[in-house]
Structure 1
Amino acid sequence: MLKLIQTEEEIMLQEAARGLLDRSAPVSRLRELRDANQTRDDALWQEMVDAGWAGILVPESAGGADMGHTAAHVLAREMGRTLAVSPFLSTAVMAATVLRRLDDPRCQAALAQIASGARTYAIAVDEGSKFNPERIELMAEKRGNGYVLKGEKRFVVDGGNADHVLVLAQSKDGPCLFDLPADRAGLRRNVSAMIDSRDAARLEFDDVAVSGDELLGAAGDGRALLRYGLEAGQAALAAESTGLAQAAFAITTEYLKERKQFGVTIASFQALQHRAAHLWCEIEMTTSAVLQAGRILDADPDAATLAVSVAKARAIDTAQLAAREGVQMHGGIGMTDAYDMGFYMKRARVAAEWLGDYGYHAAQVAQLRGF
């Protein structure tokens, strides 16, 4: 039976993470980055690397900590609390999960670079307006011992700042997954800042030459291989969204205890108490769903799809509810930039779309349940 409470080691990791992030990445830091039109925080990422977070899923043989997905979720949840800006999900979670599945010296070298902070990744999978890894129109044409890539990828989160990109493309042998330097000739990155002040890119591949050595696994296995990274990322993003909801709830309840109307604090109003209690219950259930997903990813990643989609769907709904309730219970000032609640709402909106929205994951759950 899976243990759905945190271990002592996970609690210690949480406390250490909270201390680092409260000190180096409070929400005020995100405000500074936004005002400076910056979508990366190199100093924070270096602190994370020094703390061993970049290697949280990297095997010890490659210089990592190899603490597992549940531990990675502890970190992601704390990052969600302060809305930290980092390549953690794309690099330390998704890319590391894919690379560690391959018994290849090149992958071991890449994992060592992830753990040391020498390399960051973005994941290029989306091509339409919605997440759909089954749709692959980016073509990989065989050329000698290598391939030539033609087409584009959209909504590549961290794509503007990453050193490398994992690219899913279609070949005559089936889906292929490539590990490419982001500065490869013919690869053009159109970068924009998202509403939550992180970067995303549209990648255009204009006859991009790749060698056979840059193919991960075998031709035709790309989608199946990337699936492990995507599900790891979906679960970690659910954890981040849960941390976001917890922080938004804490900020809101503190405001309810301070704000007065008619000579009393508005926390004494029964209608607001009911709304706060409902939100607390939703957060607790989502926290359990995320913990379940982490435990299954650690124990049996081949059987994790259902738990991951339940966690992601719940986290999407809960994070957006927490942000909406936060804005509304703050009243008119909740809509102003002077208060942080708007930052939580924007991050929740982006997290709701990245790696599959509520509809996508609800459909996954229904299918796996036989409906």
Structure 2
Amino acid sequence: MALVLTEEQELLRDSARDFVTNQWDFDWLRKVRGDSDTAGYDPDIYKQMVELGWTAIPFSEEVGGLDLGYAELGVVLEEMGRKLMVTPYLSTVVLGGGAIALGGTADQKAAVLPGVCDGSLLLTLAYQETSRHDPYAVSTAATVDGDGYRISGRKTLVLDVQSANKLVVAARTGGNAGDRDGLTLFLLDAGADGLKVSGGLLLDSRSGGHLTLENVAASAADVVGEVNAGADILDELFSRAAVAASAEMLGGAQDAFDRTVEYLKEREQFGAKIGSFQGLKHRAARWFCEVELLRSIVMDALRAIDEGREDARELACVCKARASDVYRMSGQEGIQMHGGIGMTDEFDIGFYLKRARVSELLLGDSAYHRNQFAEMRGF
């Protein structure tokens, strides 16, 4: 398949770009700093996203979705990433909703996914317990209690946990921390007894927090997928989510580049536009090539998911590894080419480095994904 957008995808891109440019207030990132009571997103913005159909993109028509693909999802995420939008889209649609779509029962899908599509239900995925992405390092225990379970443990870096109505929680029903086998996913209400949330803002003004579970009750009907086989869902989910996150990172890298090139054309030093300096020309040319290479990888990885290709997981690792490196480079180069003023709050370019550093670690950094790729290739 050619790595170009179809006519329908171009229309979706133009619509998304127009919405993000005209409706999203970049200064929101400044306004929420230090606000411990923030909801973590702008509900009015999210409502408009729902009305545009964005939350329904990857889900089947049976649950109110549009039955489109990750190629279309990536188009929207890229445009959101360009202006560093803060919404519960990744946590609700890609992570939480993705887990239910992949492994949920018919009843779970019917109860949850229509609410995701119409915006009445926010989800998130609680899995991480260490300082870095390590999907199998789960110590949270789900012990059998009659016909159900009791779950106890602690999760860290749970995206949008303050605003979520329901949570998909990874707990251990067998084995030891680090084992692939023995993981089970549970769908829990955010207001369940024994469930405590400690929320806040991440470095890039996105919402995240910790989750403590103290003897939280769960029934057999709350199990997502098969008992002890949660990793089968998580492996595919994290592969897809890594590509989706990379699409958003591509948007940020592209906009940081575009902003910086415009600055190079305007800023004068020693009586000349600094964009005419050979050293900066070379750095900008290399940056352009890196972003274009990332674009090709992201587009291919998104289409690999839709086509069900055998190399989709390998491509996901390549995609997220490159996205992590290129976005970090984009944030750093943007600030350096702006000079000292790039470090000030007056200019927006510094926000791209903050987003890059957070996005780099979410769902695995470049070192993690290179190691995963090597293992898949038998090294």
- Shorter-chain TM range is over 0.9
Take 1:217 and 1:262, find their aligned partners in 2: how far apart are those partners?
65
* 2:250 equivalent to 1:242: yes
Residue 226 of structure 1 and its aligned partner are, at CA, apart by 2.3
1:191 aligns with 2:199: yes
Aligned-pair Cα RMSD in Å: 1.4
Q: Is 1:370 equivalent to 2:378 in the alignment? A: yes
Change beyond 3 A, Cα 1:332–1:238: same
Q: Assess if the C-alpha contact under 8 Å between 1:228 and 1:301 holds in 2.
A: no
- Is residue 249–residue 323 contact of structure 2 (8 Å, CA) maintained in 1? yes
Do residues 205 (structure 1) and 207 (structure 2) align?
A: no
What pairs up with 1:172-321 in 2 under 5 angstroms?
Answer: 172=174, 174-300=182-308, 303-321=311-329
Indicate if the aligned counterparts of 2:100 and 2:108 stay in contact, CA closer than 8 A: no
- Whole-angstrom distance in 1 between the partners of 2:265 and 2:332: 18
Q: Does 1:120 align with 2:119?
A: no
Which segments of 5 or more consecutive residues in structure 1 lack a partner in the other structure? none
Choose from 147, 151, 155 the match for 2:157: 155
Deviates more, 1:81-90 or 1:295-304: 295-304
**Hey, what's the Cα distance between the residues in 1 that align with 2:348 and 2:63?**
39
Choose which of 145, 160, 167 in structure 2 pairs with 1:143: 145
Aligned to 2:173: 171
Report the Cα offset of residue 305 of structure 1.
1.1
8 Å CA contact 1:320, 1:349 repeated in 2: yes
State the Cα deviation string for residues 295-347 of structure 1 (Å, max 9, x = none): 01111166421111111010111111111001000011000011101111111
Q: CA deviation at 1:126?
A: 0.7
Match of 2:330 among 322, 328, 331: 322
CA distance in 2, matches of 1:107, 1:370: 36
How far apart are residue 36 of structure 1 and its match? 5.1
Aligned counterparts of 2:157 and 2:363: Cα–Cα separation in 1: 10
1:33 aligns with 2:35: no
User: Matched residue of 1:141: which SS?
Assistant: strand
1:352 pairs with one of 336, 357, 360: 360
Are the aligned partners of 1:72 and 1:93 in contact in 2 as well (CA < 8 Å)? no
Q: Structure 1, residues 54-75: CA drift from partner, whole Å, max 9, x if none?
A: 1111111111112111111111
What is the aligned partner in structure 2 of residue 80 from structure 1?
Answer: 81
What SS does the corresponding residue of 2:200 show, helix, strand or coil? strand
CA distance in 2, matches of 1:113, 1:188: 23
Deviation of 1:183 (Å): 1.3
Shift of 1:91: 1.1
What secondary structure does 2:151 align onto? strand
1:91–1:121 Cα contact (<8 Å) kept = yes
Q: 1:180-226: CA deviations, max 9, x gaps?
A: 11111101111121111111111111111111111112211211112
Q: TM-score, normalised by structure 2?
A: 0.95
TM-score w.r.t. length of structure 1: 0.97
Structure 2, unaligned runs of 5 or more: 176-181
* 1:119 Cα deviation after fit: 0.7
Deviation of 1:7 (Å): 1.2
Give yes or no for contact 2:105–2:224 (8 Å, CA) kept in 1.
no
Count of residue pairs brought into register by the alignment: 370
Deviates more, 1:186-195 or 1:361-370: 361-370
Distance of 1:229 and 1:296 partners within structure 2: 14
Letter in 1 for 2:133: F
Q: Deviations over 1:138-190 (max 9, x none)?
A: 00001111110011111111112211111111103821101111111101111
Given that residues 125 and 159 in structure 2 are in contact (C-alpha distance below 8 angstroms), is that contact kept between their aligned partners in structure 1?
yes
